[in-house]
Amino acid sequence: MAEREQQRESQPRPTLPQTTTSKTAAPDLPADLKEVYSWRKYFELITGQASKEDISKYRMARDILNEERDCKRCEADRDWLLQYSPVVTFLRENINKLGHDINSTNVRCKRCSTIQSGGFDADYGILICANWLRTRAEIEDTMAHEMVHAYDYARFKVDRGNLRHQACTEIRASMLSGECRFGREFFGRNQWNITEQLQECVRRRATLSLKNRPAVKDDVHSARLVNEVWDSCFKDTRPFDEIYR
């Protein structure tokens, strides 16, 4: 799990990656993917002998073949979380108060071709990347993260073109979703810092999320934007009274 977390963190998250729908039958594998999706290649992968290209192709083939199963599992977890998760139901209630609703029609489970956990778009809704999230806890963190974005867009009128606004909502989403809690960092991502662990995690993840936006030049520019709004945005825990998880 730690390897998967580190891969997701190593690649910035575009707002909406290329996806396929769970309502469509998975296509046959292309010839180049069929060639690598074998027991021999699997053992090369787990023993560290496979090339990066073969690893990428093997995982793509696996995700295509398991798409229907992954999306159904994700949808079942999504529906459970919308009803029973304390953090998800709290955020949903507060978004409802602002005249919007988060439900199964605008939280979509898809197979993503990019390495990321999900995304948010004010017009589209919330995307959950079913092939990259294996547990209900991971889906809960991702839903909470994207629901903080949804709350911010409804409550604060976030400007998509304002990079300081985008930096602020990324800080808040990483801080309030629970994805930076100590146990997730320590056991899931091999981040073993004790002092100011939360702050370091939030800075790191907000910077990574921000730097793939077209107007952000590079990771230095992204880090500077995060730093510019850090003091005010890290202190802002609305709609929570304090950091919940």
For every one of its 245 residues, what pLDDT tens digit does the chain have, with 9 covering 90 and above? 445 555 555 444 444 455 555 444 446 788 888 888 888 888 888 899 989 898 899 899 999 999 999 999 999 999 999 999 999 999 999 999 999 999 999 999 999 998 889 999 999 999 999 999 999 999 999 999 999 999 999 999 899 999 999 999 999 999 999 888 855 544 445 455 555 788 999 999 999 999 878 899 999 999 999 999 999 999 999 999 998 76
Are the beta carbons of 126 and 146 closer than 8 angstroms?
yes
- What pLDDT, on a 0 to 100 scale, did the predictor assign at position 124? 93
User: Does residue 146 have an active-site annotation?
Assistant: yes
Q: What is the pLDDT of residue 21?
A: 52
pLDDT value for 182: 56
Find the catalytic residue in 5, 9, 75, 146. Answer: 146
The tokens describing 95, both together, are 């978004």
Q: Taking Cα atoms as reference points, which of 221, 219, 220, 227 lies closest to residue 202?
A: 227
pTM of the model: 0.82
Q: How far is CA 41 from the centre of its chain?
A: 28
Q: Is the dihedral of CA 130, 136, 138, 141 positive or negative?
A: positive
